[in-house]
Amino acid sequence: GAAALLREPVYNWQATKPTLKERFAFLFNNEVLCDVHFLVGKGLGAQRIPAHRFVLAVGSAVFDAMFNGGMATTSTEIELPDVEPAAFLALLKFLYSDEVQIGPETVMTTLYTAKKYAVPALEAHCVEFLKKNLRADNAFMLLTQARLFDEPQLASLCLENIDKNTADAITAEGFTDIDLDTLVAVLERDTLGIREVRLFNAVVRWAEAECQRQQLQVTPENKRKVLGKALALIRFPLMTIEEFAAGPAQSGILVDREAVSLFLHFTVNPKPRVDFIDRPRCCLRGKECSINRFQQVESRWGYSGTSDRIRFSVNKRIFVVGFGLYGSIHGPTDYQVNIQIIHTDSNTVLGQNDTGFSCDGSASTFRVMFKEPVEMLPNVNYTACATLKGPDSHYGTKGLRKVTHESPTTGAKTCFTFCYAAGNNNGTSVEDGQIPEVIFYT
């Protein structure tokens, strides 16, 4: 009959295909010599695909076991309802001809199929395709898939992209579709480049979407409930008091006790302990570094409302995240402090924080951090400024004009040059005074 005619191969087709590659490519999705059929997909989309056991077994240990292992099937019709026909054909095309056929629509299902049938070469092509097409607006969608398919290398590339383009990535529609574990993995990062209040607003949008997915009413209590452990990863202390008061404080997502302790954290000294992280998120890679400009510590430096100031420049682009300051000579004490970095020539404040620190009476330095990293460009004059309120403190002497930091891992050098800040400086100079340490990332 007609069906038989269709199957009748052209006689001596082999002679028209001079290479092994051409002969095998000819057999792809072809009834000629076929000894097994796969029923791929479900419902109306299902397809019946012819194949050759030998070719599949040579290309995949999973097919080899299916046809030749101890539990081998003798069936000539094999149902694969959980595989997409297009992806299965892409897998076969690769096994028959080494040709890679992937596009944006099929790459994920092909990746799933390549993993399922243990064909790492095709898997690598899929991951490569995804990397090339990774953008801020699809980074979260791809991150979800990378985690689902256990592709750690792709996942870390997605996270790096999210670090660099946080604002664009969280406004993309894929963001509200991620699962809680992915949200947590992102919120744990120290390297997101965004104001915390914007991150909070995005997380609230996610929580609203999650309430709908769980068929819960969208109420502040339910938003808090679906956020679970993610809420504690929002770094409320990095917000300004105005940002906090206008948004999170009125969102109903925080309980009163949390809101009150955060308001106290913003306004009083010593600062009460809050249940939220106050470590800055730096859009920076690498390790925190610090330099100290003094070789010796002495006692008694007084404060009367004047700022300690020192000018400095650096030989490469860095991000300053805070200062180390000297504390009291009278035992454990709390200081109020305002720290600033000023662009010397234009007198513009580039970063500042009104905060406090507790010291233990020792001659060590105590960390005081900015709310976000302050970018320093090479060979530009900046003024570091600290205004302390509190008792007499230690101070540094035998100051160095030039201090070089060398990275223990890469050997890269960062050179700081200090010079006198004329005018009100509370006595601090290159030779002695306050502001001993600069804490930074390169």
pLDDT in tens, 362-393: 999 999 998 888 889 999 999 999 999 999 99
In a domain, 308, yes or no: yes
Question: What is the count of structural domains for the chain?
Answer: 3
Q: Give the bridge partners for 356, in sequence order.
A: 336
- State the angle between helix axes of 152-164 and 180-187 in degrees (0 to 180), rounded to the nearest 10: 60
**What average pLDDT score do residues 212-223 get?**
97
| % of the chain beyond a pLDDT of 90 | 79
Structure tokens at 102: 């992937």
Residues 109 and 146 in one domain: no
The pLDDT value given to residue 372: 80
pLDDT in tens, 222-237: 999 999 999 999 999 9
The overall pTM is greater than 0.85: no
Within 13 A of 189's CA, how many CA atoms are on the CB side?
Answer: 25
- Give burial (CB, 10 Å; 0-12/13-18/19+) of 158: buried
Domain encompassing residue 177:
138-267
The pLDDT value given to residue 113: 95
Residues 231 and 330 in one domain: no
| % of the chain beyond a pLDDT of 70 | 97
> Within its chain, how far is the Cα of 243 from the centroid?
23
CATH of the domain at 189: 1.25.40
- Of 133, 154, 175, the residue that ends a domain is 133
In a domain, 380, yes or no: yes
* Nearest Cα residue to 6 out of 28, 36, 32: 32
- Of 69, 101, 133, the residue that ends a domain is 133
In a domain, 1, yes or no: no
Least confident range from 84-98, 262-276, 419-433: namely 262-276
pLDDT tier at 281 (50, 70, 90 boundaries)?
confident
- Of 90, 113, 133, the residue that ends a domain is 133
Residues 397 and 319 in one domain: yes
Q: Does 125 have pLDDT greater than 50?
A: yes
